[in-house]
Amino acid sequence: LYKKNALSSDHVQKLDSICFLWDPIEHAWNEHFKQLCAFKAKNGHCDVSQNDEQNKCLGQWISYQRTSYKKKTLRSDRIQQLNSIGFIWDSLEHAWNEHFNQLTAMRIQGKKWTL
């Protein structure tokens, strides 16, 4: 009814007075984002594993964000929010680039390596 503007302003005010959630999906997304920000503050990164028992739900949420991003169904404002905290969209590509950069640094320092 609210989305169709079928609620009276009195009803809206009463529901607002008890902190009624008008959009529980948006609320849940924002709560997960806050959890991710807290995780990053503590751990220095946003890469939460789905296998991490303490953060399993957050890891699953992150996986869903990556899937939605790949399918181009993730809203642009959410992409921007995640980008703003250094979110990694492709963890395998990121890991490859990190290792390549390490090899490059070794090469510059004159160190040898074998593959």
Q: Is residue 31 part of a domain?
A: yes
Q: Is residue 94 part of a domain?
A: no
The answer to whether residue 3 scores a pLDDT higher than 80 is no
pLDDT at 113: 65
Q: Pick from 85, 95, 70: which is nearest to 32 by CA?
A: 85
The share of the chain scoring above pLDDT 90, in percent, equals 50
Q: Is residue 108 part of a domain?
A: no
Q: Is residue 99 part of a domain?
A: no
Is 2 in contact with 22 (CB distance < 8 Å)? yes
Q: Is residue 113 part of a domain?
A: no
Q: Is residue 107 part of a domain?
A: no
pLDDT mean over 80-85: 98
The answer to whether residue 24 scores a pLDDT higher than 90 is no
pLDDT at 57: 94
Give the phi and the psi of residue 88 in degrees, each rounded to 5: -95, 120
By residue range, what is the domain housing residue 56?
24-89
pLDDT mean over 86-99: 82
The answer to whether residue 4 scores a pLDDT higher than 70 is no
Q: Is residue 2 part of a domain?
A: no
Q: Is residue 106 part of a domain?
A: no
Q: What is the rounded end-to-end Cα distance, in angstroms, of the chain? A: 63
* Structural domains in the chain (count): 1
When pLDDT is cut at 50, 70 and 90, the band that residue 68 belongs to is: very high
Q: Pick from 27, 95, 87: which is nearest to 62 by CA?
A: 87
